[in-house]
Amino acid sequence: MLDYLAFRFPALARLMKHHQFWWSALAFWFVVLFAASAQAGVMPPMLFTWQDKVQHAVYFCAGGLCFYFALRLMFPQMPITRVMAFAVIFCSVVGATDEFHQSFVPGRSGNDLGDWIADTVGGIIAAFIGRKIK
């Protein structure tokens, strides 16, 4: 996958080797997360059971990957297991604060344990994907 990306988009592949790219992507991820969490009672149509939890896990997997690669590239000497642990902790803490934030938004339930678990699972998935890629 990365070889294909480097072949088709060499400038993007070079950019992705810098931690600033991943910190910027993470900042964008945070802005989208905050904006989505601040929406009052907006729910996409449910196509299957547990769709909400899958959406949480996928979104937090993306944020966890941004955090993982930013940390890995910024501190290349850090053991991979520590980077993995920090990525999971990051997703878990951000997921908890996001749920807390939603509890103040009208029309949102917030403090949903299932959503927080899905956020943490997304971080775990990100840690293992990141380990496999780099």
Tell me the pTM: 0.89
Alpha carbons 21 and 35: distance in angstroms, whole number: 21
- CB count within 10 Å of CB 30 equals 14
Does residue 109 lie in a domain region? yes
Q: Give the model's pLDDT for residue 128.
A: 97
What is the C-alpha separation between 26 and 48, in angstroms, rounded?
Answer: 29
Sign of CA dihedral 68, 70, 75, 77: positive
Q: Is 49 inside any structural domain?
A: yes
Residue 13 lies in a domain: no
pLDDT of residue 109: 79
pLDDT by residue for the chain (134 residues), tens only, comes to 556 656 677 776 777 888 999 999 999 999 999 999 888 876 777 788 888 899 999 999 999 999 999 999 999 999 999 999 999 999 999 999 999 998 888 888 778 899 999 999 999 999 999 999 86
Q: How many CB atoms are located within 10 Å of the residue 32 CB?
A: 12
The CA distance from 114 to 12, in Å, is 36
Task: Provide the domain count of the chain.
Answer: 1
Q: Is residue 5 situated within a structural domain?
A: no
Taking residue 83's Cβ as centre, other Cβ atoms within 10 Å add up to 24
99, 110 Cβ separation under 8 angstroms: yes
Q: Which among 75, 58, 24 has a CA at the least distance from the CA of 126? A: 58
Q: Is residue 84 part of a domain?
A: yes
Residue ranges making up the domain that contains 125: 18-133
Neighbours of 49 (CB within 10 A): 8
Inside any domain, residue 125: yes
